[in-house]
Structure 1
Amino acid sequence: MPTAIVTGATGILGREIVYELGRHPQEWTTVHALSRSKKDVYPSNIVHNFIDLTADVQEVAKELKDVSADYIFFAAYLLKGSEEDNTKVNGDMLENLFKALEINNAVSHIKRIVLVTGCKQYGVHLGRAKTPMVESDPWLPEPPYPPNFYYRQQRSLHAFSAKHGIEWVVTYPNEVIGFAKGNFMNLAASIGLYAAVHRELGTGGLPFPGGATFYEKFDSLTYSRLHAEFCVWAATAPGAKNQAFNVVNGDVESWSNMWPKLAARYGMTVPGDQFSRPAPDASDVPMADNPPISFLAKALGLQGKTAQSHIEQTIDLAKWSQKPEVQAAWERLAEREGLEKDAFEKATWMFSGFVLGRNFDVIVSMSKARAAGWTGYHDTWESFEKVFDQLESEKILPKAIGRFVGWSMQQ
């Protein structure tokens, strides 16, 4: 019966991997959940271990002296202020784990390692990338592009696996829809809080805070539970051996389709003139000088057609969240509904503004995973609704008061 190690076990992606393994104790006898904090009550086959992978490698090895497994799921992640710092800390964490396993002579047990990364692989944080994004797309050169910690991690994974004869899998999720206790760094929490506060302000409408361009563009998102199911499948699937895979829900969505549904959930509608009326809180921020697609412009026949991308917000979320009237509305709402008061402050307003404000499509292909035998799928709006329900039960969002029915609103 296989055993597993999951790092980043209290994060949005790692938590779901732990719970997916925990749902099958007859298949996964022992799962070591590694994290720097413990925020959940785990199933019976889960053993939690406190670990700081940024510590000295000898200390990491000491903490892991009684930990070994057949399969490793690496989902640990720390956000730093620059791409250089992100590359150093996240690359070091993975390498520290590898070195600690070597020190403890625990390498011989390992059959396959699943490394969780993301669609930063394609440079979506820098601007428009080629669409659809496929796993064979070339890595961006460093320089002229900034360092990408996913590249460093994958190089380390490939080297470690080749050295010890271990199989590997890499996943590329995008814009994860999920929930983790005490972790408000997710898009669902931010847009839910935005909608709830707008209702509290009594404006009657829920304007889309991103730009008019992206409102009608297409996006590919990942439900955290679907990603966990994929990881557990990929750990043993013969067709997944030594491969990297995009992992998104399988549909393609637009905010013009989903935003009215969010508004209806909170008893509001979308203002019909939201992009034609004055926008005093708007912002427009240029992204990298040369978007990722420019690296392939000649091969694609697009020379001179790869303009710099922008983050366009009709309501700059980072600035909006700091307005006195907005914060006062949240305080009233949180006090009245018994909500977790620091949820609003900890929400990722800048990241949400980036996600909603890009002026280019983000379309991620699932063809490679399908060809390997993966059949998982999840409707993106249903993913949001399930996470909203979780956020409500944890007292981060107030209860929904409406629902969307066939382009007519019912409360």
Structure 2
Amino acid sequence: MVSAIVTGATGITGSAIVHHLLKDPSYSKIYSFSRSNPGYQDPKIQHVTLDLQGSAKEMARTLQGVSAEYVYFCAYLVPNDPAELSRVNAELLSNFIEALELTGAIRNIKRFILTCGFKQYGVHIGQAKQPLLETDPLLENQAGGVSWPPIFYYDQQRILAQAAQKGAWEWVATLPEDVLGYARGNFMNEATSIGLYCAVSKVLPGSELPFPGSKANYFTFNCWTSANLHAQFCLWAAVTPGAGNQIFNVMNGDTESFQNLWPRLAARFGCRIPDPMFPNGGVRDTKGFGDYESSTIRFPNKPPLKAVAAELGLSADPTMENSPTLFLQVDPEKWAKRHDVNDAWAQLRQKYQLDQHAWDKATWDFLVMTMGRDWSCVGSMSKARKLGWTGYADTWDELEETLQILEREKVLPPLDQLKRDF
């Protein structure tokens, strides 16, 4: 019988890992770490209130007597400045590892699983080579002759690898993409923002559901990751021979596109698909859909594809010098501030007793990125498959299940009543 530590246990990935550890009979003890108590009711779980922003010595005092063979590190902070993002999250991890060294718990670790993401490939700053492979070059050290914005996963992986080598234990880093799942009180979830957008659109005159992003994005191909599938992968990677000291893409296993998902969302919420969906022909200008405000956001960097331009025979291609651009025909952040939109939300909130925090904390800026980009984000699962991973999830099914949970948790209105009342 073994034990586990889960940091960020109130987050979407962390809480999913806790739930799957509870189902695994080989685990006899689970330590859940977070700043607030998630309220797990199970004798196998011991919650530890821990502020990872504290010093190693402060954390060590809290962690006296805590020890586990497997660590699942899902905590991170999101300051706006990229340099600060790297510094803060590197310190979170390094101080936590040092705290385990101070208590002596580090000697019992077998594998340490770190949750990262597709920012590993720079998909948040432009088009990268497709499909995304774990062996793709890092966007640093003047890769492709370009100075790149800092990506904090790189620092974390180096810290982890060095500590593992020193302590004679192993590490694994996972790279999920656009995670679909639910954690109580945590609204950093694409499904929450999409669900709120659809539900409010149902109430607005005409019940139209315009796609917020660009026409190019509507037709790109992308991968999503179920929080439950990611949790299953983490437990698999913790014990699978040959998985140690490796980085793995973790996606559902299918490839999806909003051209398929958006009409299904419209049908689900009882909305009408506009025709034309892109009245301006998809031309990027300052005009939005109807009277909605659009946005054009230009990045200061070159596309990540430039890092491998020479090996692809694209060194002289002028597009390698273009700044990546996001375009939203309905800017979700601006949309969520409109009086008519907020009146519609208030109507839903009062009628169905919904959670105002979900609206206040919805990550509209995340939709700006995922729907405004004109590049695909498709990763290969071949590396994990070759080691024996067979997990799979249907992205629409996972999105549907998450929306149903959001309804039960009073984040979204009950679907049947919404379609009947409006």
Q: TM-score, normalised by structure 1?
A: 0.95
8 Å Cα contact 1:171/1:247 also seen in 2: yes
Q: Distance in 2 between matches of 1:44 and 1:221?
A: 33
Alpha-carbon distance between aligned partners in 1 of 2:203 and 2:14, rounded to the nearest angstrom: 34
Between the aligned partners of 2:323 and 2:11, the Cα distance in structure 1 is 33
1:334-367 CA-to-partner distances (Å, cap 9, x unmatched) read 0101100121121000111111110111111101
Paired residue for 1:185? 188
Picking from 300, 304, 311, the partner of 1:299 is: 311
Asked whether the equivalents of residues 179 and 224 of structure 2 are also in contact (C-alpha less than 8 Å), the reply is: yes
Indicate if the aligned counterparts of 2:213 and 2:368 stay in contact, CA closer than 8 A. yes
The farther-off stretch of 359-368 and 300-309 is: 300-309
2:302 is equivalent to residue 290 of structure 1? yes
Alpha-carbon offset, residue 113 of structure 1? 0.6
Q: Name the structure 2 match of 1:105.
A: 104
Q: Which AA in structure 1 matches 2:294? A: A
Shift in Å, 1:402: 9.7
Q: 2:378 aligns with which of 337, 354, 363?
A: 363
- Which residue, out of 349, 365, 377, partners 1:350? 365
**Contact 2:211–2:262 (8 Å) recurs in 1:** yes
Tell me the equivalent position of 1:406: none
Answering whether residue 25 of structure 2 is matched by residue 13 of structure 1, we say no
The aligned residue for residue 94 of structure 1 is 93
Amino acid at match of 2:295: S
Structure 1 residue 285 displacement after superposition? 1.0
Matched, 1:39 2:42: no
1:113-153 C-alpha deviation (Å, 9 max, x unpaired): 11110010001111001100000001011561121110000
**TM-score of the superposed pair, with normalisation by structure 2:** 0.93
**Partners of 1:91 and 1:223 in 2: how far apart?**
26
C-alpha contact 2:223 2:252 (8 A) present in aligned 1? yes
Q: Give 1:70's aligned residue.
A: 69
**2:211 matched to 1:208?**
yes
User: Secondary structure at 1:21's aligned position in 2?
Assistant: helix
Cα offset, 1:60, TM superposition: 0.3
Partner of 1:241: 244
Q: Shift in Å at residue 399 of structure 1?
A: 1.4
**DSSP 3-state at the match of 2:248:** strand
Paired residues of 2:201 and 2:271 also in contact (CA < 8 A): no
Shift in Å, 1:252: 0.5
One-letter amino acid of the counterpart of residue 297, structure 1: A
Cα distance in 1 for residues equivalent to 2:50 and 2:72: 15
Partner of 1:317: 332
Q: Return the offset for 1:312.
A: 1.1
Cα distance in 1 between the residues matched to 2:356 and 2:294: 27
Which 5+ residue runs of structure 1 have no aligned equivalent? 404-410
Cα distance between partner residues in 2 of 1:55 and 1:388: 35
Counterpart for residue 158 of structure 1: 161
For residues 227 and 193 of structure 2, the distance between their equivalents in structure 1, rounded to whole angstroms, comes to 16
Aligned length: 403
Give the CA deviation at 1:185: 1.1
Contact 2:10 2:38 (C-alpha < 8 Å) held by counterparts: yes
RMSD between superposed Cα atoms in Å? 1.5
Kindly indicate whether the alpha-carbon contact (under 8 Å) linking 1:9 and 1:18 is maintained by their aligned counterparts in 2.
yes
| 3-state secondary structure, aligned to 2:27 | coil
Partner of 2:350: 335
Alpha carbons 1:39, 1:182 under 8 Å: kept = no
Determine the C-alpha separation between the residues in 2 that align with 1:81 and 1:102. Answer: 31
Counterpart in the other structure of 1:120: 119
Name the stretch that deviates more: 119-128 or 277-286: 277-286
CA–CA distance in structure 2, aligned partners of residues 40 and 148 of structure 1: 33
Moved over 6 A (4+): none
- Once the two structures are overlaid, the 10-residue window that deviates more, 57-66 or 273-282, is 273-282
Give the AA of the match of 1:262: L
Query: For structure 1, which segment, 314-323 or 302-311, has the greater mean C-alpha deviation from structure 2 after superposition?
Result: 302-311
